[in-house]
Structure 1
């Protein structure tokens, strides 16, 4: 009884592999890759990590890009009377 679900999974896997091979062959015959067809030919450009703009005066290895939520050390420095210009990396 336990053999039936295993056999169905095996057959499904084989059918998927065969279908993928057929689709890849059709795409190549048309001069495309399968990824071009599935993604619409538009690959996402890799996102670049923003360079840090501010550093913690107490720990210069701790930085912030200026994007997103302010880190606690920035909030504390601002509350202590410093400005963002004071925290800029020189």
Structure 2
């Protein structure tokens, strides 16, 4: 899943791994990468393609089940934790 997000959003693996649900607005189709997570230390907004939006929606569905990412609040669950759960 992380690879699809990297390819569809043209972002780095570190940006995907450090992402949190609070950075993603599925209704608006936007992912904001905060400056703390960006290589150039500048915040930037990614307008999600249909493919990227679908992948984020799939991750969101996985994170809401009771086996979701380490028992953290869904809003604060890192996406790579959900990705690891999905591949297990």
For the superposition of Structure 1 and Structure 2, which TM-score range results when normalised by the shorter chain? under 0.3
What TM-score do you get using the length of structure 2 for normalisation?
A: 0.24
Q: Which has the larger radius of gyration?
A: 1
What TM-score do you get using the length of structure 1 for normalisation?
A: 0.23
Higher RCO (CA-CA < 8 Å; seq separation 6+):
2
